[in-house]
Amino acid sequence: MTVAKGDDEATPGIELGVVASEFATVKVTLEQGGSGARLRVEDLRADAVRYLDALELESLVWAPEDWWRRLLDPSLHRWRDAGRGPEIESLPPG
Amino acid sequence: MTVAAQQIVDGTPAPTAGNDTGTVTPIGVDEAAQFLYREARLADAHELDAWEALWTDDALYYVPIDDTADPMTSMSIIFDNRGRIATRIKQLHTGRRHAQRPPSRLCRTVGNVEVLGVEGTDTVVTSVVQIVESRERGTRFWAGRVTHKLRRTDDGLRMSTKKVVLVDSDRPLLSLSFLV
Amino acid sequence: MTTTLGSSRPTPEGLRGLVQPDRVHGSLYTDPAIFAAELERIWYSTWVYVGHVSEIPRPKDYVRKTIGPQQIVMTRDTDGGVHLLQNRCAHRGNLVCEADRGHSGSFRCPYHGWTFSNTGDLLGAPFNQGYGGREGLKELGGLATVPRVGIYRGFVFGSLAAEGPTLEEHLGAAAERLDRLARLSPEGEVELTAGFVQHEVEANWKMLVENETDGYHPQFVHSSIFSISGSSIGDLYSDKSTAVTRALGGGHSENDLAPEFRRLGVPMGWAGTPESKIPDYVAQMRDVYGTETGDEIMINGSPHIMIFPNLFVAEIQLFSIQPLAVNRTVQHVTAIQFKGAPDLNRRLVTQCVGSVGPAGMLLADDAEMYERNQRGVEQLRPEWLDLRRGLGRETTDDDGYTIGTATDETSMRSMWSHYLTLMDPQPATAPQESTVEGAQA
C-alpha cells in the first residue's frame, strides 16, 4: 500500500480529533500550508499516513456503496498474498 | 464528580491548594488514612448511625457504572444525595431490608492512600478498597478505586463525597446491599 | 408421581405432569435438562425482546445484546434498517465485536482479520489467494443473522426460528400497552438512552418472570422502603385495591393499576411526581394532546406489564431478563426515557437508580427473594409450588381476558399455560385454560 510519510511533519494543522472504534484508531488533522489545504489521516495502530486533497475527498463522497464495501476487503491492498495472485484486483464496476 | 477530581483520578497533575483554603489546616496522608480506616471499620461492622454521621450535608455517595457518564442522565449503581443516604440507612434499620437480613459479614482492606490535592474546602483522597463479603449464598470479592473528598469541620473530619469505581462496574453484578 | 428427570431431556409428557393448573413442580426451576429444553423451545424459538432502536440512532451504530446466552450484535445499516447478527466469526468462531457499543459499518475479527458488513456479509479475508482469490470467498459464509427481526414502537424483537407466529400475533394485547407507554412522550416515542445496570441473580429466570406481576409480594418484600418513604405503592397491592391482575394471553400479564391511578385523578400521580416539579413536560403534553386527553394520559400512567419471556416494563423502568444457566439470570435494567421530556427524564433516572440494580432499595430485596427461593426449591419436599391464589375468584373482563384481584396469581397461571404450549407444541389434549390463549386472537 502506498502511504505518504513524514514528508513535511512541520506543516501546521488543526488537530480535528481521533476517530476510534474497537477496530481502528485514526487521527485526523486539517493542514493549511504550501498552496492549499489537505486532510492528514494517520493510522495510529500502524505507522501509516495518507494525505487527502479536496478533490479526493469529494470523490469519496460520491463513491458508491459497493466501492466502499470493496475497500474494506483486507485482501484488496494491505493484506495481499505477494506474488500469489494478480498485482491489483480490479474494483467491481460501480 | 467535578472535573478537577476526575482529572486527578485519571492521573493528571493534582491542583495545588486554592486561594480560599488559607485558614484551613491541610489534611495529610496519615490523617486521611485514619479517617478512611475508621469509615471502613464502621461500614464493616454495620455501625450505621456512626457511619452516616461521617457525611456532610452536601453529601454525594456515588458508585458509577460508567465513570465518564453524566449521572443525571445515565444509570448508576448508587447515586445518593444526603437525603437518600438517610433513606438507605433507615431502610437498613427497619430490619426488613431482606438483602441485608442477616447482614453481610464484611472484611475490607483500604490501601494505596494518596492525597491528591485540594478543591475549595475539600481535600481529595484516593485509595483502593478490597472487600470480602460472606453471605449464605457464598463469598464474594469486591474491589474498586475510591475517591473521598474530606472536609475539616468543628466536629472533626467529614466526607462530602465518596465515589467507588468497581473494577467490574459495567458487568453483571450480584446484589451489593451493604455499605460499599 | 415420579418427577426426577435426571440428565435426560424432559419429554413433553413429563412436562405436562410438572405443570398443573394450580401448582408447578420444583424441578422446573432446578433441572438443567429442562433449562436446555427451554432454550431450544422458548428462547431460540419465540419472539424475544433484544433492544430498542434509540440505542443505535445513526446508521453504522451498533450495540451488543443478547438472546438468553446467545451474543447478538444489533446494528443499523446505511438505509436505517435494523439487523441482529450473531457475534461469531464465520471462520473460527471468534467473538467479532468486543466493545459494548460503537460506530462502525463493518466489523473485523481480531483473530485473522475476516471482515464483515454490519448486515453480516463477508467483505473479505486477508491473503485471500488461500481461498482461491476473491471469487473463492463466495463459498465462505458471513455472520449468521437472526432469521426474524420485528420492531414495534421502536422495541426490537428477534426470533431465532425462521417460522412462527408474527410479532404482532406474539404481542397481542401487549402491543396496546406499549402504545400507552409511548403516548407518555409528547413526541410519542420512548428512548432508552440512560444505559443499563446489569444485576445478576443466582436463580432461575422464571422466578423473575413470575415475580414481575406478582401483586402478592410487594407488601412483604418491600415493606421496609414503603414504610420509611411514605410510599403508597404498597396500598396498590392490597385486598382493598381496585387494581387487577390480567392475563393477556401469549404468556403476557399485567398489574393494571390504572383504576387506582384514576381514583387518585392527579396527572403524574402514578409517578409520584407533582406537576410543579415538571412544568415543561405537563405543559407540553397538554399542548400536544389537548388538555383533556393529555391529562387522561398523565393520569392513567404507565403500564406494569411482563411481556413473555423477557421484557418487563414497570412504569418508569425497563427490565430485560437474560437466562444464563438453570440457576443464573441477569436483569438488564434502565430508566425509561420519553422523547421530548428532558425535565421528566432526569427525575426518572434518579428515581430509577434508587430503586433498581444491585444496590437498589427495591430490587436488591427482590433479588434476595429470588435467590432464597432458588435455594428453597432445591430442597426435596414438598415438591410443588402452589399457584392457586385467586383461582376461585377469577373473572373475565369485557375484552375476554381473565382477571384476578391485585394480589392473585392469575398472571403466573397464564404464564405456565403458555409455557406448556411452547414446550409441548402438539399436545394430545387441549391445553388448560385455553380461554386465556383464546383471548389473544
C426 lies within 8 A of chain A by CB: no
Which class for C202: exposed (0-12), middle (13-18), buried (19 or more C-beta within 10 A)? middle
Residue A84 lies in a domain: no
Closest by Cβ to B177, choosing from C345, C350, C359: C359
Does C396 share its domain with C358? yes
Distance CA C313, CA C302 (A): 9
Distance CA B113, CA B30 (A): 9
Residue A20 lies in a domain: yes
Order the strands of the C384-386 sheet from edge to edge: C19-20, C23-25, C384-386
Does C107 share its domain with C201? no
Distance CA B173, CA B12 (A): 30
Residue B46 lies in a domain: yes
The per-residue pLDDT for C336 is 98
Residue B90 lies in a domain: yes
pLDDT band at A33 (very low <50, low <70, confident <90, very high): confident
Count of domains observed in chain B: 1
Nearest-5° Cα angle at C307, C305 to C308: 140
Which pLDDT tens digit goes with each residue over B145-160?
A: 999 999 999 999 999 9
pLDDT band at B15 (very low <50, low <70, confident <90, very high): very low
**HSE, side-chain direction, 13 A CA sphere, residue B138:** 8
pLDDT band at A8 (very low <50, low <70, confident <90, very high): low
Helix or strand run (H / E) with residue C282: helix C279-289
Residue C131 lies in a domain: yes
CA distances from C5 to C14, C27, C40, C384 (A): 8, 8, 17, 15
Domain housing A64: 13-71
Residue C322 lies in a domain: yes
Distance CA C192, CA C56 (A): 10
Residue C361 lies in a domain: yes
Distance CA C310, CA C51 (A): 11
Q: Nearest 5°: phi and psi at B169?
A: -60, -30
The per-residue pLDDT for C288 is 98
Distance CA A3, CA C306 (A): 56
The per-residue pLDDT for C3 is 46
Give per-10-residue mean pLDDT for chain C (441 aa). Answer: 51 85 96 96 98 98 98 97 98 97 98 98 95 90 97 98 97 98 98 98 98 94 90 83 95 96 93 94 98 97 98 97 98 98 97 97 97 96 96 96 96 97 72 41 31
Q: Regarding predicted confidence, which is higher, A91 or C20? A: C20
Contact B175 C334 (CB under 8 A): no
Average of pLDDT values for B42-67?
A: 98
What ranges make up the beta strands (E) of C222-264? Answer: 244-249, 252-256
Contact B72 C201 (CB under 8 A): no
Interface test mutation site (partner B, options C64, C71, C197, max chain B beta carbons within 10 A): C197
Contact C126 A22 (CB under 8 A): no
Contact C108 A74 (CB under 8 A): yes
Contact B90 C349 (CB under 8 A): no
- All residues of chain B having their beta carbon less than 8 Å from the beta carbon of residue C345 are 73
Closest by Cβ to C129, choosing from A24, A76, A85: A85
Distance of CA B70 to the CA centre of its chain: 18
Contact exists between B and C (3 or more beta carbon pairs < 8 Å): yes
Contact B72 C350 (CB under 8 A): yes
Contact B77 C352 (CB under 8 A): no
Residue at which a domain ends, from C152, C187, C221: C152
What's the start-to-end Cα distance of chain B, in Å? 17
**Sequence-distant (≥ 6) Cβ neighbours of residue C42 within 8 angstroms:** C309, C419, C422, C423
Whether residue C213 contacts residue C236, with contact meaning beta carbons closer than 8 Å, is answered with: no
Domain housing C133: 49-152
Residue C395 lies in a domain: yes
Residue A4 lies in a domain: no
A93 pLDDT exceeds 50? Answer: no
- Shortest CA distance from A23: residue in chain C: C108
- Shortest CA distance from C200: residue in chain B: B174
Contact C98 A22 (CB under 8 A): yes
The per-residue pLDDT for B13 is 41
Distance CA C124, CA C135 (A): 10
The per-residue pLDDT for C425 is 76
- Shortest CA distance from A89: residue in chain C: C134
Q: Nearest to residue C344, comparing CAs of C418, C261, C283?
A: C283
Q: Which residues pair with C304 in a beta bridge?
A: C314
Does C232 share its domain with C372? yes
Q: Which residues pair with B81 in a beta bridge?
A: B60
Residue A5 lies in a domain: no
Contact C350 B94 (CB under 8 A): no
Q: Nearest to residue C372, comparing CAs of B140, B136, B104?
A: B136
Closest by Cβ to B137, choosing from C194, C202, C361: C202
Contact C123 A73 (CB under 8 A): yes
Residue A34 lies in a domain: yes
Contact exists between B and A (3 or more beta carbon pairs < 8 Å): no
**HSE, side-chain direction, 13 A CA sphere, residue C418:** 27
C78 grid coordinates: 446505511
B21 pLDDT exceeds 70? Answer: no
- All residues of chain C having their beta carbon less than 8 Å from the beta carbon of residue A86 are 133
What's the start-to-end Cα distance of chain C, in Å? 36
The counts of H helices and E strands in chain C are: 16, 24
What ranges make up the beta strands (E) of C77-213? Answer: 82-86, 101-103, 106-108, 115-117, 122-124, 148-152, 155-159, 190-191, 197-201
Residue B13 lies in a domain: no
Does C195 share its domain with C236? yes
Distance CA C218, CA C240 (A): 14
Q: Regarding predicted confidence, which is higher, A89 or C173? A: C173
List the CATH number of the domain containing C78: 2.102.10.10
Helices (H), chain B: 3-9, 29-44, 48-52, 82-93
Residue B57 lies in a domain: yes
Residue A17 lies in a domain: yes
Count of domains observed in chain A: 1
Asked if omega into C186 is within 30° of 0 (cis), the reply is no
Which pLDDT tens digit goes with each residue over B107-160?
A: 999 999 999 999 999 999 999 999 999 999 899 999 999 999 999 999 999 999
Distance CA C257, CA C260 (A): 6
Closest by Cβ to B175, choosing from C193, C353, C368: C368
* Residue C68 per-residue DSSP state: T
List the CATH number of the domain containing B147: 3.10.450.50
Count of domains observed in chain C: 2
Domain housing B100: 3-7+26-166
Residue A2 lies in a domain: no
- All residues of chain B having their beta carbon less than 8 Å from the beta carbon of residue C272 are none
- Which chains share 3+ C-beta pairs under 8 angstroms with C? A, B
Residue B176 lies in a domain: no
Does C117 share its domain with C232? no
Residue C168 lies in a domain: no
- All residues of chain A having their beta carbon less than 8 Å from the beta carbon of residue C129 are 75, 81, 84-85
Closest by Cβ to C224, choosing from B73, B97, B175: B97
List the CATH number of the domain containing C373: 3.90.380.10
The per-residue pLDDT for A83 is 63
Residue B173 lies in a domain: no
The per-residue pLDDT for B8 is 42
Angstroms from C200 CA to nearest CA on chain B:
5
Angstroms from B92 CA to nearest CA on chain C:
8
Contact B172 C333 (CB under 8 A): no
Residue B128 lies in a domain: yes
Residue C207 lies in a domain: yes
Residue B160 lies in a domain: yes
Contact A79 C127 (CB under 8 A): yes
Contact C227 B94 (CB under 8 A): yes
C230 lies within 8 A of chain A by CB: no
Closest by Cβ to A75, choosing from C103, C108, C126: C126
Query: Phi/psi class of residue B103: alpha, beta or left (left: φ > 0; alpha: ψ in -120 to 50)?
Result: beta
